[in-house]
Structure 1
Amino acid sequence: MAGVTVLGAIALPQLPPERLPEIAEAAEQSGLAELWLWEDCFWAAGSACAATVLANTERLRVGIGVLPVPLRNVALTAMELAAVLRMHPGRLIPGIGHGVQDWMGQVGARVDSPLTLLREQLTALRALLHGETVDASGAYVHLDRVALDWPPHTPPSLAAGASGPRTLRLSGELADATVLTSATTPDGIRAARELIDEGRAKAGRTEPHRVIVYLLAATGRDAAERLAATRRRTGLPDAVGVAGDAQAIADAVHRWSAAGADTVVLEPTPDEPDPLAFVRFAGEQVRPLVE
């Protein structure tokens, strides 16, 4: 994907799920390439929301960034993803990750070694989605001759959410793409690329590895104030995010892309007053400047 920037936008999980069809329609009509969803506790399930968006569009690709592995049995995740992939071939970008550990603790799913769990789930999920029969006896994943009766016709590119060095190396080793949070600066993208490449080298992988980065973005009359408030509330540095008009945001997309992002996904602030308008703005005004 060298030299090409894919632009997407996020439909935050705070949005009521019944609004997803209109958000999906706006994303598709605006020309956006991708709409990204989160499976955050305790809003709505990622696979159900992705299926809804895909059913209401014809071209739009949908990313799930990410499904938290402590919350899920890998066989069930494989079944859900395979069904969606068969119904909407080539349009789903599934991602898995550690999840927010406090939330995992709330439901009794927190584990002693999140990295081990992610390694075991990535390995098993990839094999299941490739139509293999899987036996696994790990610390967390236990499968006895498990195979999907309806595997996807074409296995998807599987993404992993990552931020720490060990998880970034693991993503390079086992995943096809890495999702970086909106806390990532351009320098952070460069550092992540190096760690991902270390994992790729360890596994002998030479195929392209897509880096997907969320970019916190605010537009409109009070954009700077909303961005500053979000930074303060979440402890993010001033180097994170962008506020302004379409040109200002497109310029930031170019900076993040130059640092090594293949895909930049615009993330609205949690207090974005009009999520529908934000998606239209991303597709109709920012996308032409990026392309």
Structure 2
Amino acid sequence: MGGRTLSVGAPTDPDLLIPFARRAEALGFAGIWTQDTVSAENFSLDGLHVLSYLAAVTERLRLGIGVLYSGRRNPAVQARELATVDQLSHGRLTVGLGVGNDYHRATLTALGIPADRPVRRLVEGIEVMRALWSETGFDGELYSFSGVRSQPPPVQRPGPPIWIGARAEPALRRAVRIADGWTGAAPVATKDFLAQLAIVRRALADQGRDPATFTISKSVYVAVEDTVDKARERLIPAFDRAFGASPVYDATGMADRVAVFGPPVHCARQLRDLFDAGVDELVLYPMYDRMDQLEAFGDLVDR
């Protein structure tokens, strides 16, 4: 991909995690990403624990999580957890953060987790973590402290890069203002993502920010097969299983809206189009046959 960054999404099967990560590293991928959820219909591991696990069996891969929902974890606890992963990985962590979807809030409230003011919790939560990592105080609307120390410090200084997951224009502009990057969600249609990317580019210009200081990432569902029709045939039931009960995303026709699929040359061309549009890093997620698809993805690294 001509120096552009390709990473992969981790599987959810515990038995696949180590062989998948080690093979991804051997194939030349730049990083491996996990997901965070409030609740899940399907089997799901905690993303931060998975990253700690993978830190011990990899040497070069960046370790990313996308995205941690604001307010779900106290920011002081989260700062310590993230710094621990950064220490265990010798400075390889990238942090995705976001406000989450509205339907998450009822679950959070039912569990006794404050769900009000999610945007303020996101913004101040980032400021709290950065204050703790730099050993300074903080005085905000939700959090206020001085003389509080947090251990361990992160290896990366002043802290791990923070990328915001966002879709609406105010959230995209906020990401440019407060974060180190923006990460586009895999279930978002490609045409919608490109419209969001245009907003980010305008925000960078409006805020006078050097685009080189702000990373643009996109997660993509990918299926590599001999033909487009065969790939689509495999993807349709996979999307039905993953999103059939989703209150946000419609699984019907989802493959054609959001996925890249078909022969390697066809997939490489579509991924190159996203890079040409201004994406810095693509995170490729297999929807089935994870190890076989990873091997097929590896053929894309050198295209």
| TM-score, reference length from structure 2 | 0.82
Deviations along 1:61-112, one digit per CA (max 9) or x if unpaired, are 1111111222111011110111121232331111111234434422323623
Q: Say yes or no: does 1:286 pair with 2:300.
A: yes
Within 1, Cα distance between the matches of 2:205 and 2:74? Answer: 29
Structure 2 counterpart of 1:193, from 193, 197, 200: 197
SS at match of 1:146: coil
In 2, the alpha carbon distance for the partners of 1:124 and 1:199 equals 24
Counterpart of 1:171 in structure 2 is 175
Residue identity opposite 1:265 in structure 2: V
- Counterpart contact for 1:34–1:61, Cα < 8 Å: yes
Aligned with 1:107: secondary structure? helix
The answer to whether residue 5 in structure 2 is matched with residue 6 in structure 1 is: yes
Q: Is the 8 A contact 2:232 2:255 kept in 1?
A: no
SS of structure 2 residue aligned to 1:182: coil
C-alpha contact (below 8 Å) 1:172/1:198 kept by paired residues: no
Label 1:277 to 1:72 Cα distance change in 2 as closer, same or farther (>3 A).
same
Q: Does 230-239 or 56-65 show the bigger shift? A: 230-239
Which of 133, 136, 147 is equivalent to 1:133?
136
TM-superposition CA deviations, 1:2-50 (whole Å, max 9, x none): x7420111124xx233431121112112211111110123422222111
* TM superposition shift of 1:189: 4.0
Contact 2:108 2:115 in 1 (8 A): no
In the alignment, the residues of structure 2 paired with residue 133 and residue 169 of structure 1 have an alpha-carbon distance, to the nearest angstrom, of 27
- Measured in 2, the distance between the counterparts of 1:205 and 1:220 equals 41
How far apart, in 1, do the equivalents of 2:84 and 2:19 lie? 23
**Following TM superposition, by how much is the alpha carbon of 1:170 offset from its aligned partner in structure 2, in angstroms?**
1.1
Question: Could you tell me which of 129, 139, 152 is aligned with 1:150?
Answer: 152
Find the aligned partners of 2:77 and 2:85 in 1 and give their Cα distance: 13
Matched with 1:252 is: 270
CA deviations on 1:261-280 (whole Å, 9 max, x unpaired) are 111111222xx1x2122222
CA RMSD after TM alignment: 2.5
- With 56-65 and 91-100 compared, the bigger mean Cα shift is at 91-100
CA contact (8 A) 1:101 1:110 kept: no
Partner of 1:214: helix, strand, or coil?
A: strand
Q: Per the alignment, in what secondary structure is the counterpart of residue 71 of structure 2?
A: helix
In structure 2, the gaps of 5 or more residues are none
Instruction: Give ranges in structure 1 of 5+ residues lacking alignment.
Output: none
1:41 to 38, 55, 58: 38
Aligned length: 279
Instruction: Give the 3 Å change call, closer, same or farther, for CA 23–201 of structure 1 in structure 2.
Output: same
CA distance in structure 1 between the partners assigned to 2:280 and 2:76 by the alignment = 30
Cα offset for 1:199?
4.7
Equivalents in 2 of 1:148, 1:241: separation in Å? 41
TM (norm. structure 1) is 0.85
Deviation at 1:179, TM superposition (A): 0.8
> Greater shift after overlay, 203-212 or 74-83?
203-212
- 2:262 maps to a residue whose letter is G
What is the rounded CA distance, in whole Å, between the counterparts of 2:140 and 2:146 in structure 1? 8
